[in-house]
Amino acid sequence: YAEALAHSAVKRGAISSEQADERVSLIAERQTVLQRQPPPLVFVVLDEGCLRRPIGSPKVMDAQLARLVEFADLHNTVLQVATFDMGVRRPFNLPITLLTMPDRSLMSYAESAQQGHLERESTSVLPLLTAYHQLQAEAPSQAPSVAMINQLRKGTP
């Protein structure tokens, strides 16, 4: 999945082959964090478009959906899907990452097409945390979210 995204960017001339390889390696490296001891607690709310937008071949897409189901099955993770019917109740239009550091301080990281921005100032991060909690409350819980993913894997809407 990551390779399909990166190689698509190469085909468009947006990045070089070397940059694509670097992106894929970085994503693979980030995944290893889930294996460390103790593992981090990871709460994810994915937009439904991430599940329904075909990336790569059907085989690639099925592998990605299977990986999400595996991720949701980990004891240190929660996966929810922000469904299309949330409409304007969905508070974010771009991906955002909220981090709680070991000292309990908060940070946010947001990406645009051109750059990423790391924010440590609590007056900027706390409103994002509030919006994220609202998103979690509005999104279906993990069980129906995983059921949706499994239905997509079977080819049913």
pLDDT, tens only, 40-69: 999 999 999 999 999 999 999 999 999 999
- Looking at residue 79, its pLDDT comes to 98
Predicted structure pTM score: 0.88
Longest dimension (CA), the chain: 45
Q: Would you state the pLDDT for residue 93?
A: 82
- The pLDDT assigned to 115 comes to 78
Which bin fits 132, alpha (ψ -120 to 50), beta or left (φ > 0)?
alpha
pLDDT for the residue numbered 18: 94
Does the N-terminal peptide bond of residue 38 adopt cis geometry, omega within 30 degrees of 0? yes
Query: Which pLDDT value is given to residue 130?
Result: 94
pLDDT of residue 82: 96
Q: Which residues of the chain have pLDDT under 50?
A: none
Three-class SS state of 145: helix
- Tell me, what's the pLDDT at 112? 75
Contact indicator for 76, 35 with CB cutoff of 8 Å: no
Cα torsion 153, 36, 130, 86 to 10°: value is 0
